[in-house]
Amino acid sequence: MGIILAIIIFGFIIFIHEFGHFLLAKLNGIEVQEFSIGMGPKIVGFQRKETQYSIRILPLGGFCAMGEDETEDGESVGNFNQKSPWRRISVIVAGAGFNFILALIGAIIITAWIGVDKPIVASVEENYPAVEAGLQAGDVIKEINGRSIHLFRDATTYNQFHQNEEIDLTYERDGVETTVHLTPQWDEESGMYRYGYSGGGYVKTGFFETIKYSFYVVEYWITSTIESLKMLVTGQIGMDSMSGPVGIVDVVQDTYNQSRSGGASLVFLNMLNLMILLSANLGVMNLLPIPALDGGRLVFLIIEVIRGKRVPPEKEGYVHMVGMVCLLLLMVFVMFNDIQRIFL
């Protein structure tokens, strides 16, 4: 069941991503030669006007192939490269943008359904830094080390990403903001450094608050992805912590197994939450300035805007080709890690 659910979730996220490219290409008068979900040999497809729509055998990605070949006279109404840099930038950015919109829609559904974890302290534990600093139940956490806190999970995740780090925590009580300094304390039971405060779960919100907090939920997943990448680059976490398609299937299967006893609604909510995470993650990853990704193409377009002329296509193509080879090697490495972690 995990494989089927993972294919459905990942396939839908990819569809939305590629549809973003497709829609903006059409709006900018760019010819789309093929719109495909999946990679490798084609399973099914059909032609409509100038576009071939297809589903391919490997559910590991997709593509929106636009007319980019240079014509003999260098002119083509529907050619991607004949459009202005800003039009091309809008097409490239649209993929990640639609992923963020999908994550927002999912967040609105979940927030309207079960509520939101506002950053309100529910309890403080004796003999921990929080109670010694004067923190009380009902206090609203506003900032940690200058970073705004909108959800209780913001505070929890910040503490997880910054273990054994002293913090300046700002909270609000009766309309008055107070900042206290907290030094974490090691907790043998959890195996983590803790400050000794906890949240009170989810609370329902009105319509406008639901929309507002849904934006905060998407911001949370984007920020968490960026923080994880920073930790990976700085060596705080190893490459073996990365997960690819095999790892995602395993997570989906575990989530399904843990949720099905709660009925179809709980399964749906947890799958939707995974979709929000993966969609936000895909949006961020695609905007990284890495050759062969959307972010890599954006770098060349920004250079073109600054220089006033395009980078020679053969040079750009070579850079993207090298980037694609590196990404494929990374994918093989991550997949091997997933298999080793799960099955060995």
Catalytic residue annotation: 18
Integer Cα distance of 343 and 226 in angstroms: 29
Q: Residue 199: in which H helix or E strand, if any?
A: strand 197-199
Pairing relation of β-strands 121-124 and 197-199?
Answer: antiparallel
- In Å, how far from its chain's centre is CA 270? 16
Structure tokens at 171: 């909270």
**Cα gap 60→248, rounded to integer Å:** 11
- Cβ count within 10 A of residue 97: 17
Question: How many Å apart are CA 114 and CA 336, to the nearest integer?
Answer: 37
- Residue 293: CB atoms within 10 Å: 21
8 A C-beta contact, residue 13 and residue 102:
yes
Measured CA to CA in angstroms, residue 111 lies from 55, 102, 208, 262, 331 at distances of: 33, 14, 11, 19, 34
Torsion of CA 247, 250, 255, 261, to 10 degrees: 180
Q: Which two tokens stand for residue 296?
A: 């890599």
DSSP per position, 62-110 = EEEEE--PPPTTS--TT-GGGS-HHHHHHHHHHHHHHHHHHHHHHHHHH
One-letter amino acid for residue 183 of the chain: T
Residues pairing with 148 in the sheet? 143
How far is the CA of 1 from the CAs of 7, 309, 313, in angstroms? 10, 51, 45
Both tokens assigned to 100: 């963020």
The phi, psi pair for 283, rounded to 5°, reads -60, -45
